[in-house]
């Protein structure tokens, strides 16, 4: 049971980071950028849900640290993933 709750907590933290990234003016994904303020509000609600799930699994102190760790990892990883582009090999050609 705790394994499923841990997976749900990590997924909720990642979705929260994606929602907050969608509301950012630095968002590079057009599909996420359409969310705008809805992304910010859903990201905040999902962050609270992730915190509650992590504290349910690990307790107050460890749950708070695990939530921040998984949340910040997602927040750092999303812009890097968005910045990756497949090079078509035609750059620099006339």
- Structural domain boundaries of the chain? 2-83
pLDDT score recorded for residue 84: 82
pLDDT higher for 90 or 67? Answer: 67
Kindly report the three-state secondary structure assignment for every residue of the chain. Answer: CHHHHHHHHHHHHHHHHHHHHHCCCCCCCHHHHCCCHHHHHHHHHHHHHHHHHHHHHHCHHHHHHHHHHHHHHHHHHHHHHHHCCCCCCCCCCC
Whole-prediction pTM value? Answer: 0.82
**Per-residue pLDDT for 47 more than 90?**
yes
pLDDT score recorded for residue 35: 81
Mean pLDDT of 59-77: 94
């Amino acid at each position: 049971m705790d394994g499923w709750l841990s997976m749900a907590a990590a997924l909720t933290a990642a979705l929260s980071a994606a929602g907050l990234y969608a509301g950012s003016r630095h968002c590079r994904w057009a599909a996420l950028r359409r969310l705008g303020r809805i992304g910010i509000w859903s990201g905040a609600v999902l962050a609270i849900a992730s915190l509650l799930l992590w504290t349910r699994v690990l307790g107050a102190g460890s749950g708070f640290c695990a939530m921040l760790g998984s949340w910040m990892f997602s927040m750092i990883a999303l812009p890097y993933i968005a910045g990756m582009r497949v090079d078509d090999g035609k750059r620099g050609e006339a």
